[in-house]
Amino acid sequence: MTSRRLILVASVCGIVLWTVFAQLNHYLSSWHVSLFIGGLLVVFPALRLNYRDGWKIVVLLGLWFDATAPVRFGLHAVLFLAAHTFIFNLRARFPREETYFGILVALIANAAIFLVLTLGLIVRHPAPLGALPAIFLDLFISELFVALAAGWFFSLQEHALEIAGFSLRHERRGLL
């Protein structure tokens, strides 16, 4: 029961971020710019939660992304799960509870997922090389947004989980 509540709370936080991202994309569309924040959704569950709860959260959020994206259903979910697994397997070597480290991992994960999606979908474009400046501009602006929003999003998730009755510090470190 508590695992389901944790998954629900973390998923709702991801949907809140997705909603903000969708509104920003709406306003930026007149300038032909779009944001991608998929890596930011993966990092907190991968760094702070156990594997089973984390993969359920990132798959749910990936399916939420897929519902509105013009790609095959499940593509974001698979990419988010792959990123989650990769980050989870490396997290023991790093200061995973530090906000600055989380921001750095979010930037790397976001760029990696963005580039994998771009490489997989660029074949649809009639002039792939002509699209590169726009692609790199989208990546740069996305990374800027992720860097600015990551601290807020990590705090939102941690406080939402505390309100729901989960203390990550108590459960992971046993200090408090």
pLDDT score for 167: 78
What confidence score (pLDDT) does residue 175 get? 41
Mean pLDDT of 11-40: 93
pLDDT tens-place string over residues 108-146: 999 999 999 988 878 777 777 777 888 999 999 999 999
Across all residues in the chain, what is the average pLDDT? 89
Pseudo-torsion of CA 16, 142, 132, 27, nearest 10°?
60
Q: Which long-range CB contacts under 8 A does 60-65 form with residues at least 24 apart?
A: 60/7, 60/11, 60/14, 61/11, 61/14, 61/15, 61/18, 62/38, 64/11, 64/14, 64/15, 64/18, 65/18, 65/38, 65/41
- Examine the pLDDT at 153 and tell me if it is beyond 70: yes
pLDDT 10s digits, 80-109: 999 999 999 999 888 988 999 999 999 999
Instruction: State the pLDDT at residue 169.
Output: 66
HSE-up of 127 (CA within 13 Å, CB side)? 4
pLDDT value at residue 30: 92
Report the CATH fold assignment for 3-164.
Answer: Arp2/3 complex 21 kDa subunit ARPC3 (1.10.1760)
pLDDT value at residue 122: 80
